[in-house]
Amino acid sequence: MHSIKELRKRLEEIAHLSSILNLLSWDRDVYMPAKGINRRSATIAELSTLIHTKFVSIDNNGLLTVLKKRVDQNKIRGKDAVIINETWRSFNKEKKLPEAFIRKLSETTSKAQDVWVEARKKNDFKLFLPWLTKIVELKRKEANYIGYKVSPYDALIDAFEPGMTAEEAYKVLSDLKDFLIPFIKNIQSTQTKRDPKILLGMYPLEKQIAFNHDVVSKVGFDLEAGRIDKTTHPFETSLHPEDVRLTTRFRENDVLYSLGSTIHEAGHGMYEQGFPVKEVGTPLAEPVSHGIHESQSRMWENVIGKGLPFWKYFYPRLQKEFPKPFKKIPLKTFYQVINNVSPSLIRTEADEVTYNLHIILRFEIEKEMIEGTINLKDLPKIWKTKMKEYFNIDVPTDALGVLQDVHWSAGLIGYFPSYSFGNLYSAQFYFAMKKAIPDIDKKIAKGDFREIKRWLNKNIHAHGKTYSADALVKKVTAEPLNSAYFIDYLKKKYASIAS
């Protein structure tokens, strides 16, 4: 039977297995006993293979081919057409990669990550170089399997931003760079100097955990359909919209360290909780792209979570829970400190302004890596030169430079731009939302986040993959992705802080 019902049934089976895969990874990072790791890795590999096998056989009996033809003939439309088109797209991409290649890539990146950890610890780029070389070769091969028109980078970025090309990414990020470099210099010379150490204190873990729970449930993360646990590296993972799990990490002397990452992950989590439950397994309950996903986390973390209205509501609660040191620090000072702009070496610790320059630097390098226009052994030098040029910072060691991120050793080339696209989308979406909810600042300052959540649910979450990122942005904001919104957001925010 060549019916959409049969396709949904096949997708549903895969969805159950995929949700298990997420649980296996979550458990590995959160609760698995140490000695469990060997078999856990094998179980994950086994299940991944099973999912791949099931997915590439989804066209058995020509089911998908027949359905796709009906969509192309306009005999199937609407939601069913979305399911078929998106499944067709993923299917055709996934079946291009031979199983032997997938295994080879997975084995190589698995070993490369161990070497990278070692290389970073020893500050020895040369140790990592042969493995990076292998990975770049494999990723070029992957690009060839998948196919591309202009740059092999097109094929790779497509995994994170479907439909995006290297050229488009380059255009948007170059505009952003041209704005950011002078903007950062200017902020540095004008901003009120504040010592961020004044926010340090002694914050008992139990109380931090309680405060984190309080904040995320207040902003709208459903703790009956999710939970928060402790890990070394924070992440969000979703089994399905009714089981979404966040993790965060804690520093006993810095309550904002965990809070920032928790709000970020809760933004991801609310996106996943917003997918329609009855469509689980289909593209109608899947994220549009990494950039759109990131727009949700970054809107909550930065645009809202580092905004003055947010802290008008939460700062008194923070002061009550942790009178020392916050009782003596006025809200304005607090707000200035948490929005301090300061060029630094490490991406993951960067503020929301300089962060994007870290991304642009990586994007420029990895694009050339894949296009073969730079020599991999020169990476440390190139990194240092760009850091000097963009941030006016000297990079003392490769561990604090080119070796700091896990992405390349994990084979995630083409991923970095999504982080900045997330920032750009978040400002553009927020602008549209503010037009729809004119008193949004007042509502936030009163701790009323219900309308924001409803707006995000209705306009972004509930659609799943119905629209491409491009189409979604046009639908929601009436124009394509435009970095002007983010630029304008930063200008206004930092002008008001400086005044």
Q: Is residue 226 at the binding interface for a second copy, with CB under 8 A as the rule?
A: yes
- Minimum distance, C-beta of residue 225 to a second copy, in the bound complex (Å): 4
What is the x/- site pattern for a second copy, positions 351-380, by CB under 8 A? ------------------------------
What is the x/- site pattern for a second copy, positions 90-119, by CB under 8 A? ------------------------------
- What is the arrangement of strands in the sheet containing 236-240, beginning at the earlier edge strand? 226-230, 243-248, 236-240
C-alpha 3 chain-centroid distance: 35
Q: Is residue 222 at the binding interface for a second copy, with CB under 8 A as the rule?
A: yes
Q: Is residue 478 at the binding interface for a second copy, with CB under 8 A as the rule?
A: no
Among 36, 98, 147, 323, binds a second copy (CB under 8 A): 36
Q: Is residue 225 at the binding interface for a second copy, with CB under 8 A as the rule?
A: yes
Q: Peptide bond preceding 417: is omega within 30 degrees of 0, i.e. cis? A: no
Among 224, 232, 327, 499, binds a second copy (CB under 8 A): 224
Report how far residue 407's alpha carbon sits from residue 109's, in angstroms, rounded to the nearest whole number.
Answer: 10
Q: Is residue 280 at the binding interface for a second copy, with CB under 8 A as the rule?
A: yes
Q: Is residue 145 at the binding interface for a second copy, with CB under 8 A as the rule?
A: no
- Minimum distance, C-beta of residue 251 to a second copy, in the bound complex (Å): 22
Beta bridge partners of 226: 244
Q: Which is nearer to a second copy, 14 or 102 (CB)?
A: 14
- Minimum distance, C-beta of residue 43 to a second copy, in the bound complex (Å): 5
Looking at beta carbons, which pairs linking 211-216 to residues 24 or more positions away fall under 8 Å?
211/255, 211/259, 211/317, 211/318, 211/321, 212/248, 212/258, 212/259, 212/262, 214/317, 215/259, 215/262, 215/263, 215/314, 216/246, 216/262, 216/263, 216/266, 216/269
Of the candidates 35, 149, 56, the one whose C-alpha atom is nearest the C-alpha of residue 102 is 56
Cβ distance 141 to 108 under 8 Å? no
- Minimum distance, C-beta of residue 16 to a second copy, in the bound complex (Å): 4
Look at strands 243-248 and 226-230 and give their pairing.
parallel
Helices (H), 322-377: 323-326, 331-338, 355-371
What is the x/- site pattern for a second copy, positions 37-76, by CB under 8 A? -xxx-xx--xx-----------------------------
Distances (CA, A) of 179 to 176, 354, 364, 416, 490: 5, 11, 16, 19, 10
Among 139, 240, 268, 493, binds a second copy (CB under 8 A): 240
Cβ distance 424 to 488 under 8 Å? no
CA angle, 291 as apex, 55 and 30 as ends, to 5°? 70
Q: Is residue 209 at the binding interface for a second copy, with CB under 8 A as the rule?
A: no
Residue 222's identity, in one-letter code, is D
Q: Is residue 204 at the binding interface for a second copy, with CB under 8 A as the rule?
A: no
Report how far residue 460's alpha carbon sits from residue 472's, in angstroms, rounded to the nearest whole number.
Answer: 8
Report how far residue 12's alpha carbon sits from residue 390's, in angstroms, rounded to the nearest whole number.
Answer: 48
> What is the separation, in whole angstroms, between the first and last Cα of the chain?
68
Interface region with a second copy, contact rule CB under 8 A, candidates 90-98, 219-227, 249-257, 456-464 = 219-227
Q: Which is nearer to a second copy, 17 or 393 (CB)?
A: 17
Among 96, 194, 213, 227, binds a second copy (CB under 8 A): 227
Q: Is residue 20 at the binding interface for a second copy, with CB under 8 A as the rule?
A: yes
Interface region with a second copy, contact rule CB under 8 A, candidates 235-243, 298-306, 352-360, 378-386 = 235-243
Q: Is residue 9 at the binding interface for a second copy, with CB under 8 A as the rule?
A: no
Catalytically active residues are 265
Tell me the three state secondary structure of residue 335.
helix
Cβ distance 386 to 128 under 8 Å? no
Q: Is residue 33 at the binding interface for a second copy, with CB under 8 A as the rule?
A: yes
Q: Is residue 5 at the binding interface for a second copy, with CB under 8 A as the rule?
A: no
One DSSP character per residue, 218-285 reads HHT--TTSEEEEE-SS--EEEEETTEEEEEE--BTTBHHHHHHHHHHHHHHHHHHHTS-GGGTTSGGG
Element counts in the chain: helices (H) and strands (E): 21, 3
The tokens 């994950």 sit on which residue?
Answer: 44
Q: Is residue 32 at the binding interface for a second copy, with CB under 8 A as the rule?
A: yes
Interface region with a second copy, contact rule CB under 8 A, candidates 157-165, 221-229, 362-370, 403-411 = 221-229
Q: Is residue 278 at the binding interface for a second copy, with CB under 8 A as the rule?
A: no
Interface region with a second copy, contact rule CB under 8 A, candidates 30-38, 188-196, 289-297, 376-384 = 30-38
Q: Is residue 31 at the binding interface for a second copy, with CB under 8 A as the rule?
A: yes
* Environment class of 447 (CB within 10 Å of its CB; exposed 0-12, middle 13-18, buried 19+): middle
- Minimum distance, C-beta of residue 224 to a second copy, in the bound complex (Å): 5
Q: Is residue 242 at the binding interface for a second copy, with CB under 8 A as the rule?
A: yes
Q: Is residue 462 at the binding interface for a second copy, with CB under 8 A as the rule?
A: no
Q: Which is nearer to a second copy, 136 or 219 (CB)?
A: 219
The tokens 């009996």 sit on which residue?
Answer: 61
Q: Which is nearer to a second copy, 48 or 123 (CB)?
A: 48
- Minimum distance, C-beta of residue 59 to a second copy, in the bound complex (Å): 20
Q: Which is nearer to a second copy, 19 or 459 (CB)?
A: 19
Positions that interact with a second copy (CB under 8 A):
13, 16-17, 19-20, 23-24, 27, 31-36, 38-40, 42-43, 46-47, 222-227, 229, 239-240, 242-244, 280
